[in-house]
Structure 1
Amino acid sequence: MNGAQSLIRTLVDSGVEVCFANPGTSEMHFVAALDTVPRMRGVLALAEGVVTGAADGYGRMADKPAATLLHLGPGMVNGMANLHNARRAHTPIVNVIGDHALTHKGFDAPLESDIDALTGWTHGWSRTSTDTASVGKDAAEAVAAAREGRVANLVLPADVSWGEGGEPAAEVVPPARATVAADRIAEIAGVLGESTVVLLGAGATRERGLRAASRIAAATGARLFAETFPARIERGAGLPAVDRLGYLAEQVQWQLTGVTHLVLVGAKAPVSFFAYPGKASELTPEGCAVHTLAEVGEDTADALDRLADAVAEGVEPVLQAESRPALPSGDLTPQNWAEVVGALLPEGAIISDEANTSGLMIPMATAGAPRHDVLTLTGGAIGQGLPVAVGAAVACPDRPVVCLQSDGSAMYTISALWTMARENLNVTTILLNNRAYAILRVELTRVGAEGAGPKANSLLDLSTPDMDFVAIATGMGVPATRARTAEELAEQFERALAEPGPHLIEAMVPSLI
């Protein structure tokens, strides 16, 4: 058995059964080995940003890692932006990064690079397999590290991959999440009140954590918020409704007005997304004490349950009632397109949300819709929406995936549409086309940049030439339509949801700016 075969067999024996791939020459023995391990599903993407973003979406929904297959250092570089988002989401991923044969490393071939520096940038687990006999063990340890909520990077030199003498290794079981100590629960119980905010992050925005947090709020008067960009938040009728912290610093400061205690649950204290002249970076109010109920990596849901039992015995959570906006009419606007989604969102949907400025009304419009999950742009590196939708659809083939995508961000990873078509994934993409980088128009003013004129504005304009996303999607094998009115969007959205496979609707909306 060669190294690649032992690697893949170890991965599947450890529960990693999907590999999103964009391979090259150094990875050909891995590619060939896929036919010897039928349980491993290979999913081809045409760009590494789609590979890594899809692995992120898969991990968020499957609660276990997918593998990626990347071609040397340049291939990893191309996937780095969505690995950044995955790191911020604490998504389990196993990156298999091909490398030159160890015997070839010293010749400084054109694709030679410092892969160690790149893997270190993910702040995860990294190792280079230098011996075929150890590849299985290395793979098992990579999966265990990923299951702790990290990006695991396993570098596989070509000669280690093709070398004989490999053996699959037994699964390595990672340690259980640490349980929060009783004295910390007691400390937090003592600060809860009407001037307290509980901020929910990793692991706390699923049903169990949300129900416990709602009990705590109902009993003590504390207010609840989720992080601005949660990795995965469960929402809809029958679940507690929790608002997210705003994107703009001014919004967060308003939300935290009068707060004297901030309790973190798998989250960090809020900071401004960017620096602005004359404005604070830290957004915790002056004089507010910050407390940590549970760190990232600790059992946040268990901590919330125990805190609820301590302060809210017999108190039931406050659940969102079922409600839908009425179907709107007339030309599409940044507001009414969201009402169409809220009115028609199906039960069990998974929303991959990269609608950006055009999606400000989506949380309100979908609050009372049937239960659904929302996956957000955790690290702020755009180009996530379409690939994350791919991964979510592979992880949950029995659930409809709705990708809410903005035009500029879509172009970063537009080839994800091809993978949707190739795999016949049940993804309906609503692509909001306002022909602008609208968020940057906002930021141009907010950073105090003076004297912006035609040259500056031209760098934020996407209308010269206009992009035809219907033609782009159709050319990649995805049926596509265009909507200019709320009625057209509703009809096309309903039809797309009713038909299997991928669809794209180009929704023509005016810019908010």
Structure 2
Amino acid sequence: MNGAQALIRTLVGAGVDVCFANPGTSEMHFVAALDDVPEMRAVLTLFEGVATGAADGYARMAGRPAATLLHLGPGMGNGLANLHNARRARTPMVNVVGDHARSHKRLDAPLESDIDALAGTFSGWVRRSLSPADVAADAAVAVAAAASSPGSIATLILPADVSWEDGADVAAPVRVRPAPRVPSSVVDDVAAVLSSGEPAVLFLGGDAMGEEGQLAAARVAAGTGARLMSETFPARAARGAGLPDLTRLPYPPEMALAALAGTRHLLLAGAEAPVHFFGYPGLPGHPVPDGCTVHVLSAPGEDAVTALRDLAQRAAADAEPELLEASRPELPTGELTPRAMAAVIGALLPERAIVVDEALTSGVGLMELTSGSPRHDWLALTGGAIGDGLPMALGAAVACPDRPVIGIQADGSAMYTISALWSHAREQLDITTIVCDNGSYAILEHELSRVGAQGDGKRAARLLDLGGPGLDFVAIASGMGVPATRATTAEELADQLGRALVEPGPHLIDAVLPRRG
């Protein structure tokens, strides 16, 4: 068999049976080989950033890697922003990047670039297959490298002639390294810190954000008086009734500093010590207060759930955690504000929903008003590179076809990867997208004043405003095959969301919010 056939069969044998693809000439033998391996599901995207973001969303929900298929260095470059987000989320992914045939590399063809160097900026593992005899073994190692704890991106560079030449054989899966256990001595040390009675915050991230980790952490908090808090944008968080009321560290630096003020001990479980997203005049680079000691219960990639269970047994064996009771906000009426939008979502959120949150500044009240809803999962913008919401919803829906997906999507960042809607329609996925349509890059309006930038504001405002012409999301979505409606009041949003959630296939609701400025 040729290299492409062996590669795909090896990926499937190792559990990677979904590929989000935007191929080109150098990948055509991979494309042709899909007919020989029907177990591999190939999902076409119209932009590489959609493919990489979808692979991120898929792996966050499936707990195993998907593959991407990208065209040479420029194609990989187009997917770089969401590869960055996946790296920050520690998402397992096998990134297959086609390259020129080996004999063609020396000619410096127009699409020639240093793929290896580019891939190294976001990958935990990079390898170039040098012959058909190597490609299957390389693929097996790539899957294991991606799926081992902590998850990472493995990039396999596939020259076109390695794909088309014969002489390849399927390789057996390589053993995946499990998450290492935290030593008992570390758990004992953290338990001793908690017994001091000094103000402490148990700060969660990674696998600690699942149901089991949160419940164990809630026992620790109940028995020791420690406060619970999580990363600002966790990759995946279980939420809803029966779980603790877990506060997220606020994004604005002033609010983050206030949230941790007075803390003497910051205990990390599956998370790294927090830092602000940006540097600001007159503010420290992180919110950890002076005099606060940072303790690592479990580093990212270690088994945080078992560490928290062990800690609960040592420090709070008989404690009963405080958990949220089932509750929903009343359906609002009248003006459609961000908080009214959040109330509608909280009132109607179905059980086992997957919420993909790229609401940004329009997310006011979302955490509060969905906290007592039926159990659901929440995917956040972990790496901060906007434009991941629509692609992540695509990947999450492919991973969990029996669960409703709701994307809460800021208008400006939606346009980065708007072509994902076409893939939503082509795959007929149960994704309901709510566009937070306030007509501006509102988050940048906040940042303009926060960084102390000065000016008369007229020309600057034009760079932050999405008007002239306005964006018609109903027309855009309809043109890509997604049924779309527009809501201008809370009642209209409730009616349209309710209908979208019971009808199969994708939907988009343009939620028209108060304009900025």
TM-score by length of 1: 0.99
SS at match of 1:389: helix
Instruction: String of CA shifts for 1:291-316, please: whole Å, max 9, x gaps.
Output: 00001111111111111111111223
User: What is the identity, as a one-letter code, of the residue corresponding to 1:184?
Assistant: V
Instruction: String of CA shifts for 1:400-456, please: whole Å, max 9, x gaps.
Output: 000000100000000000000000000000001000000111011000001242101
Q: Which residue of 1 aligns with 2:22?
A: 22
Equivalent residues in 2 for 1:481-496, closer than 5 Å: 481-496=485-500
Equivalent residues in 2 for 1:23-422, closer than 5 Å: 23-148=23-148, 149-192=151-194, 193=197, 195-422=199-426
Partner Cα distance (2:481, 2:428) in 1: 10
Query: Displacement of 1:158 after TM fit?
Result: 0.2
Q: Which residue of 1 aligns with 2:444?
A: 440
Partner Cα distance (1:218, 1:238) in 2: 15
Instruction: String of CA shifts for 1:29-52, please: whole Å, max 9, x gaps.
Output: 000000101110000000000000
Partner Cα distance (1:330, 1:194) in 2: 47
Partner Cα distance (1:305, 1:326) in 2: 36
User: What is the identity, as a one-letter code, of the residue corresponding to 1:332?
Assistant: L
Change (3 A) 1:461 1:364: same
Query: Displacement of 1:274 after TM fit?
Result: 0.6
SS at match of 1:94: strand
Query: Displacement of 1:385 after TM fit?
Result: 0.3
SS at match of 1:432: strand
Query: Displacement of 1:194 after TM fit?
Result: 5.4
SS at match of 2:368: helix
Query: Displacement of 1:243 after TM fit?
Result: 1.1
SS at match of 2:509: strand
- Structure 1: which 5+ residue stretches go unaligned? none
Query: Displacement of 1:512 after TM fit?
Result: 6.2
Query: Displacement of 1:123 after TM fit?
Result: 3.9
Query: Displacement of 1:265 after TM fit?
Result: 1.1
TM-align CA RMSD: 0.8
Partner Cα distance (1:288, 1:458) in 2: 43
SS at match of 1:204: helix
Partner Cα distance (1:54, 1:328) in 2: 33
| Identity of matched residues, % | 63
- Structure 2: which 5+ residue stretches go unaligned? none
Q: Is the 8 A contact 1:265 1:294 kept in 2?
A: yes
SS at match of 1:191: helix
Instruction: String of CA shifts for 1:112-132, please: whole Å, max 9, x gaps.
Output: 000011110014111000010
Query: Displacement of 1:511 after TM fit?
Result: 4.4
Partner Cα distance (2:84, 2:450) in 1: 25
SS at match of 2:247: coil
SS at match of 1:411: helix
Higher deviation after alignment, 346-355 or 311-320: 311-320
Query: Displacement of 1:277 after TM fit?
Result: 1.1
Q: Is the 8 A contact 1:194 1:221 kept in 2?
A: no
TM-score by length of 2: 0.98
Higher deviation after alignment, 448-457 or 387-396: 448-457
Partner Cα distance (2:41, 2:471) in 1: 34
User: What is the identity, as a one-letter code, of the residue corresponding to 1:60?
Assistant: R
Query: Displacement of 1:191 after TM fit?
Result: 1.1
User: What is the identity, as a one-letter code, of the residue corresponding to 2:361?
Assistant: T
Higher deviation after alignment, 102-111 or 117-126: 117-126
Query: Displacement of 1:189 after TM fit?
Result: 0.4
Higher deviation after alignment, 237-246 or 350-359: 237-246
Q: Is the 8 A contact 2:223 2:318 kept in 1?
A: no
Q: Is the 8 A contact 1:351 1:403 kept in 2?
A: yes
Q: Is the 8 A contact 1:438 1:511 kept in 2?
A: no
Q: Is the 8 A contact 2:439 2:516 kept in 1?
A: no
Partner Cα distance (2:285, 2:166) in 1: 55
Q: Is the 8 A contact 1:20 1:45 kept in 2?
A: yes
Q: Is the 8 A contact 2:440 2:516 kept in 1?
A: no
Partner Cα distance (1:155, 1:383) in 2: 25
SS at match of 1:133: helix
Change (3 A) 1:511 1:220: farther
User: What is the identity, as a one-letter code, of the residue corresponding to 1:226?
Assistant: S
Q: Which runs of 4+ in 1 moved over 6 A?
A: none
Partner Cα distance (1:263, 1:397) in 2: 37
Higher deviation after alignment, 216-225 or 452-461: 452-461
User: What is the identity, as a one-letter code, of the residue corresponding to 1:315?
Assistant: A
User: What is the identity, as a one-letter code, of the residue corresponding to 1:58?
Assistant: Y
Query: Displacement of 1:134 after TM fit?
Result: 1.1
Partner Cα distance (1:2, 1:305) in 2: 49
Higher deviation after alignment, 387-396 or 174-183: 174-183
User: What is the identity, as a one-letter code, of the residue corresponding to 1:178?
Assistant: P
User: What is the identity, as a one-letter code, of the residue corresponding to 1:165?
Assistant: G
Higher deviation after alignment, 470-479 or 173-182: 173-182
User: What is the identity, as a one-letter code, of the residue corresponding to 1:497?
Assistant: L
Partner Cα distance (2:121, 2:454) in 1: 35
Partner Cα distance (1:5, 1:115) in 2: 23
Q: Is the 8 A contact 1:334 1:511 kept in 2?
A: no
User: What is the identity, as a one-letter code, of the residue corresponding to 1:220?
Assistant: T
Partner Cα distance (1:391, 1:208) in 2: 24
Q: Is the 8 A contact 1:357 1:512 kept in 2?
A: no
Change (3 A) 1:64 1:173: same
Query: Displacement of 1:317 after TM fit?
Result: 2.4
Partner Cα distance (2:13, 2:321) in 1: 40
Partner Cα distance (2:431, 2:2) in 1: 37
Partner Cα distance (1:175, 1:268) in 2: 21
Query: Displacement of 1:155 after TM fit?
Result: 0.3
Partner Cα distance (2:439, 2:365) in 1: 19
Partner Cα distance (2:33, 2:261) in 1: 58
